[in-house]
Structure formats: C-alpha cells, structure tokens
Amino acid sequence: MYQPQALSALGSFLGQRLSTSKSDLDLHGQSESYFSLSPPDAVAYPQNTGEVQKIMRICAEHDMPVIGWGMGTSLEGHALPVNGGLVVDFRLMDKVLEIRAADMDVAVQPGVTREALNEELRATGLFFSVDPGANASLGGMAATGASGTTTVRYGTMRDNVLGLQVVLADGRVIRTGGRARKSAAGYDLTGLMVGSEGTLGLITELTLRLHGLPEAVSAGVCAFTRNEDAVNTVLDTIQMGIPVARIEFVDTATAAAFNAYAGTNLPACPHLMVEFHGSPDSVAQDAARFGEVAADHDGLGFQWSTKEEDRRALWAMRHNAYYAILASRPGARAMVTDVCVPISRLARAVTETQADLAQASIPGPILGHVGDGNFHSVLLIDPTRPEELSEARRLSHRMVKRALDLGGTATGEHGVGMGKLEYMEREHGEGWDVMTTLKQALDPQGILNPGKLIRPV
C-alpha cells in the first residue's frame, strides 16, 4: 500500500534511524497496560524538528498514520499504532536546550525525561514539579496532560507548560504560548495541544515553568483504621487551607504490597502520605496541624521528618506502587482506573469502590492523589483468563459511572487513549463532537494517532 514508497522516502534521510526490525516494531506495539500487541510498520528516530517536519510531510503524502512515542509509560494505550503506520520515537531529541533561572523557565526537547530534567536543574535551586510517578518523557507528559503527586500544590502539565513547538499534520511548524508568564493574545493553543494525545500535532520543543526548591520540606505517613477516616482527614486538611505539597492515600492492600516489594513494615491498614514545602518553621507548623487533623479522625499517630533520606524512602515507596502492586500477583497485567471527583464526594466514591472490590473476583488495590479528588484502583488480571479482563472492565465501568454521577471525570490524569473512549460521549455530550470538529479542522486526513481520544471513524 503506502509503505514501500513512504518508507523509501523516509529512509532516504533517516538512514539507520528508520527501523523495521521485528524487535523495534514489537517494542513500539506494546504498552504498560492490558492492551494487545499492535506493532507499527516502522519506527523513526528523528534528531531535530526539521526531520519531524519532513517525516510528517511524507506521511501526509502517503496517508500514513503518525504516532508519537516518548517512554511508552502511558496507561490507556495512547501510543499504540492500532492502524499501523509510523511511530516517531523522540529518544534522540533529549536535550535540555536552555535553563533560564532568572525567569524560572526552561526549554527542552520532548525526549527529555522528568528525572533527567531535574538532574540537570540540580545546581540551580529550581525544580520541575509535575511528577506522575513513572519517569516519563516531558513530550509525552504534555501530550497526555499528566499530573501526579505534587499537583495539589503546583498544578498539572496544563499549568506548567508555558509554550510549545508543534509540527502539525500538514507539516507546518508553529510555536504556541511563549516565555511571558501570562498572555491574552488569542486562543490558548498551548492549552489545546496539552492533553491532545498526539492527535493534533507532534510536540518538538517545550518551554516549562520551574519552581524554586523549598527551603525546607517535611514529610510523613499516618495510618488509619478506616478508609473514611483517611479520606475525611484529606477533606479537612484541604478546607483548612493547610498547604500540602503532596497528600497520597493508599489502602490496606497497597500497604501490604509495599511491605512485600520494598521490605517496609507498614501496619495492615490504610495510610496517608503527606509532604509540606516552606520554611523550617512553616513545614513544622504544617505537619503539626496536619497531625492534629489526623488525630481528630482517629489517625494512628502521624510520623514525620524533615530529613531527606526519610523523605526519599517514603516517596520511592510511593513511586514504585504500580510495580509493587503488579508484583503482588506474579504474571498479572494491570488495568489502572483513574477517576477524579469533587473532593466533597471523595469519601463516598472511595467507600463505594471498596465495597465493589470486596465483592470482586480479582484484586484491585486503591491509591490516589486524593488532594485533587483523584484515585486509582490497580485491577490485576491474569492475561490467560479472559473472564478476568471482563471483570476488570465491569469494575472500571462502575467506578467511572459513579464518578460521572458525582460530578467528576472519567480520567483525572491518565487520559483517554483507547481505554476511556467509551465514556467521552457521556462526559462531554456534544462537546465531544466539538473535539471531533477541531480534530478534523487540524488533521483532515486523520493521520495523527488514529483511534485515540476522538470518536472512531
């Protein structure tokens, strides 16, 4: 079909950086989640924006699907080439281009990972705040609209991307946003591109907001007898304006998975893990106030520290939650649910979900960025048993339906991809048609990441 001519045109300037090896195709045809293998026709490794532009023009000429690829850590199958085509892997575009400490911003290529960026920033006193757990690429994080543990204080990718360079479906290269902290100069194209999951363009450069490293940090963990007590502690903490930088919930099953995976010794009950950023005085006061709130909800003693090693151990444990939970059922794949509700509805959403899971035939430990009203169940599926995938779908469906009934969203941070397509109509009504209209306006051929986010054609 299109492949021979398209691949020949691509190979003419990419050379060895165009791959059709089986291992490469298989690697870019899988995801971290429960979706089936779906390999592309080829994988390109561009080195600069000009090459991405050439790639896009050739693919447009041959009606060849183009799918961006960062670190492959997305959970809803965003980067799976379900119609074949070309995966554009940004791993060679991994330069931190310019750190502008005085303006607290940085220009990066899309293949830089968030950990690599923070490593480069180490000497500046600044950091990049968005932290989804996985060491994702920044281009992928922008495309997905990622968030994570620090969002309650520092915001999501939408809040932290100041500007983008994007290659559009027709090969035009645009710059959106800029370096001013705010602008009212027309439609917010940056905001439109962030979270568009590669369906409107390929991100080839990002300008990101940085934050000053706090002078002091305190962090700690508190066990609770009942889930409701933990969740109500979160509600009161937010409403009292105690400035948490992170506030994470893990249920009993997750705590057990941590103990097995990381050799920790958490009691068999739900926990909150919290962090405060500020001055030495303020982080001590914040921790003390939080401790009082937790005690009011029968918290079983809040242990906190300002030592970096304690904090690192705490968050390393939290960051490995996905892998710890996976390891709790050897050989399992995971379907990770991702609902977000108004915080006043959080206790109800979590309690009813727990009740569902208690009746379920598969395990689904719960954890979440509860300061935003966002939580996940990591549903563990034996891939050899199709009835377990059905059971996971049933549980996920109930969670999403409940979240929408409570005024929430089908996905707080993981995105639509393919896994949440079926809820877009329910959540957005005719707004989903508007998204389709925008997609058709910017990508009339439909070559950019087909099968994702938009109603399948």
Ranges within 43-82 binding a copy of itself (CB under 8 A): none
Residue 176 lies near a copy of itself (rule: CB under 8 A): yes
Q: Does 430 bind a copy of itself (CB under 8 A)?
A: yes
Complex with a copy of itself: residue 383 or 429, whichever CB lies closer: 429
Token pair 């994570």 is at which residue? 148
Q: Which stretch binds a copy of itself (CB under 8 A): 36-44, 79-87, 386-394, 415-423?
A: 415-423
Cβ 196 vs Cβ 252: under 8 Å:
no
Q: Which three-class secondary structure state does DSSP give residue 72?
A: coil
Please, which of residues 346-385 interact with a copy of itself by CB under 8 A?
A: 372-374
By the rule CB under 8 A, 189 interacts with a copy of itself: yes
The CA-atom distances, in angstroms, between 112 and each of 92, 109, 382, 451 are 9, 6, 34, 26
Helix (H, G, I), strand (E, B), or coil: what is residue 83?
Answer: coil
Nearer to a copy of itself among residue 37 and residue 434 (C-beta)? 434
Asked if 97 touches a copy of itself (CB under 8 A), the answer is no
Q: Which of residues 132-161 bind a copy of itself (CB under 8 A)?
A: 144-147, 151, 156, 158-159
Q: Which is nearer to a copy of itself, 54 or 414 (CB)?
A: 414
Site for a copy of itself in 292-351 (CB under 8 A): 338, 340-344
Q: Which of 88, 304, 432, 451 binds a copy of itself (CB under 8 A)?
A: 432
Please state the closest distance from residue 372 (CB atom) to a copy of itself, in A. Answer: 5
> Per-residue DSSP letters for 391-455?
HHHHHHHHHHHHHHHTT-BS-SSS--TTTTGGGHHHHHTHHHHHHHHHHHHH-TT--BSTTSSSP
Neighbours of 115 (CB within 10 A): 13
Closest distance of CB 186 from a copy of itself, Å: 5
Q: Using the minimum distance from each CB to a copy of itself, give the nearer residue, 318 or 452.
A: 452
For residue 219, give the 3-state DSSP assignment: strand
Closer CB to a copy of itself, residue 309 or residue 430?
430
8-state DSSP, 17: G
Q: Which two three-digit tokens encode residue 330?
A: 């050897």
**Total number of residues binding a copy of itself (CB under 8 A)?**
85
Question: Which runs of E-coded beta strand occur in 156-280?
Answer: 161-167, 173-177, 202-209, 211-212, 216-223, 244-250, 271-278
184 interacts with a copy of itself by CB under 8 A: yes
Pick the closest to residue 164 from 197, 203, 127 (CA basis).
Answer: 203
Q: Which spans in 16-149 are helix H? A: 22-27, 49-61, 114-120, 138-144
**Neighbour-count burial of 399, counting CB atoms closer than 10 A to its CB (0-12 exposed, 13-18 middle, 19+ buried):** buried
In the complex, what is the shortest distance from the CB of residue 401 to a copy of itself, in angstroms, rounded to a whole number? 14
The single-letter code of the amino acid at 132 is: P
Give the residue with the Cβ less far from a copy of itself, 225 or 285: 285
Separation between Cα atoms, residue 67 and residue 206, nearest integer Å: 18
CB of 261 to a copy of itself, least distance (A): 27
Q: Is 178 in the site for a copy of itself (CB under 8 A)?
A: yes
Q: Is the C-alpha dihedral spanning 177, 136, 60, 48 positive or negative? A: positive
Rounded Cα–Cα distance for residues 373 and 382 (Å): 29
Taking CB under 8 A as the binding criterion, the range among 16-24, 170-178, 259-267, 383-391 that sits at the site for a copy of itself is 170-178
Stretch binding a copy of itself (CB under 8 A), from 61-69, 219-227, 276-284, 385-393: 276-284
CB of residue 15 to a copy of itself, shortest distance in Å: 29
188 binds a copy of itself (CB under 8 A): yes
Q: Which is nearer to a copy of itself, 109 or 160 (CB)?
A: 160
Q: Does 105 bind a copy of itself (CB under 8 A)?
A: yes
Among 66, 423, 447, 448, binds a copy of itself (CB under 8 A): 423
Q: Which among 84-92, 309-317, 383-391, 428-436 is the span making contact with a copy of itself, rule CB under 8 A?
A: 428-436
